[in-house]
Amino acid sequence: MIVSEKLKIENKTIENADPISSKHLQNAKDSMGMIPNMYAGMANNPALLDAYIKSYQSFRENSGFSSQEQEVVFLSIAYENNCDYCMAAHSFVADKMSKVPTEVTDAIRNDTEVPDSKLKALSNFSKLMVSKRGLPSVEDVDTFLNAGYTQDHILGVITGIGVKTMSNYFNHVINTTVDSAFSSRVWAK
C-alpha cells in the first residue's frame, strides 16, 4: 500500500547521496555485495539512514542476544508491524546467516506456535511489547523471565523495537520494493 503518490522517492546511490549516506551505502556494498533498496531510500535523509545503521549495529553487537535470537526479535517485530520488506529480508538473513531453524522462522511468519520454547517466549514477548506499545503486564514480564531471559533482555527487545520501528515505518510509507536477493522469502500473508 502506498500512502500517497507524493511520498515516492528516488533511491540514492553512492555517487549522488550526501557524504554521510554515501559512506553507509559504500559500506553496505562492500559488506553485502549490494545496496538494499531500503538503505538507498533511507539515504534521502542522512539522519534516518545514519540512526538506523548505528542502532542496528549496536543491537547486533550489544543486545545480549545470540544471532538466532536477534532474528527472532526482528522477525516478530516486523510481523507485528506487518512489514513485508523486513519479513523477507530478515527471513533471508535468518536462513542464510543466522541459521535459525526454518520451522522457527516459518512459525513466526505464519503466526503459528514456535517449536522452541525459549524462542517462542522471545517471539511472544517481542510481539506483546509492540502490540501493547511498551506496556507489558506483570504476567507478560514474568513469563518472559521464567523462560530464561533477564531484565537486560527486556531492554534488548526495546532496542530491537526502536531499530525495526525506523525500518518498518519507512517501508510502509515508501512501499519499499523487496530486493531480488530476498525474493525467495517474500512474505505471503
Distance (Å, rounded) from C-alpha 153 to C-alpha 150?
A: 5
Residue 4: predicted pLDDT = 52
Mean pLDDT by 10 residues, the chain (189 residues): 64 97 98 97 98 98 98 98 97 95 97 97 98 98 98 98 97 94 91
Q: What cell numbers appear for 187 in the block?
A: 512474505
36 near 43, Cβ under 8 Å? no
| Backbone region of residue 9 per phi and psi (left: phi > 0; alpha: psi in -120 to 50; beta: other values) | beta
The hierarchical CATH code for the domain 66-189 is: 1.20.1290.10
Cβ neighbours for 133, distance < 8 A, ≥ 6 positions apart: none
Q: What cell numbers appear for 17 in the block?
A: 547521496
Parse the chain into domains and list their residue ranges. 13-62, 66-189
176 near 52, Cβ under 8 Å? no
Distance (Å, rounded) from C-alpha 42 to C-alpha 176?
A: 10
Cβ neighbours for 30, distance < 8 A, ≥ 6 positions apart: none
Residue 88: predicted pLDDT = 97
Collapse the DSSP code of 37 into the 3-class scheme (helix H, G, I; strand E, B; otherwise coil) and give the result: helix
Distance (Å, rounded) from C-alpha 58 to C-alpha 62?
A: 6
Please indicate whether the domains covering 13-62 and 66-189 agree at the CATH topology level: no
Residue 5: predicted pLDDT = 59
At the top level of CATH, the class of 13-62 is mainly alpha
What's the burial of 156, exposed, middle or buried (CB within 10 Å: 0-12/13-18/19+)? Answer: buried
| Type of residue at 50 | D
